[in-house]
Amino acid sequence: MRNMMNILIKMDRIVFAALKVLTIVLFILLSLLITANVVVRFVPVVSLHWFDEIVEMLYAYLIFYGAAVLWITREHFSIGDWIGTRVLKGSRARYVYRAVVEVLVLIFTIIFFYYSLRLTVLALDVTNVFAIPKRILYSCMPVAGAIMLIYSIRNIVVEVIRIGKPREGDA
């Protein structure tokens, strides 16, 4: 069991590091392309007729893989845990509440994953300049959705474990 947990922890770190590096690289590439586009408007030495196509793809990848990174670290936008900390008394009630919220989040990620995978599989068109299949453009959505799905399940398991073993000092 301990060996399995160590493997999962290593995989978690690898996935997180890879997504973090990927989002940083995508941001740098976008910054360079946008800067080049601005420069070319003032000094027209080359045509960037392909600019929109590549920027669209890079933005999509940055948004969805960035969202997956935030999902892993639980730093995505939320209204906070004001109900669990202010309204509910006792740690078990708080953990039950958080588990219910995580189940609702899981339902969202399942729906997102399903429909993004469906969109990716059914996309038949290609981009105008490079004829890149739109499936490649859309592929970041089901991949990020799968990552978010896995971590949503992890979050539910963590909250269920906390229900059974509340922290010391909590009622």
The domain limits of the chain are: 2-164
For residue 85, the model assigns a pLDDT of 63
pLDDT per position as a tens digit, 59-88: 999 999 999 999 999 887 766 666 666 666
pLDDT over threshold 60, residue 168: no
Alpha helices in the chain (DSSP H): 2-42, 51-73, 82, 91-122, 134-138, 140-164
Q: What is the mean pLDDT of residues 118-127?
A: 94
Question: What is the pTM assigned to this prediction?
Answer: 0.84
Q: Which of 148, 153, 156 is nearest to 73 (CA)?
A: 148
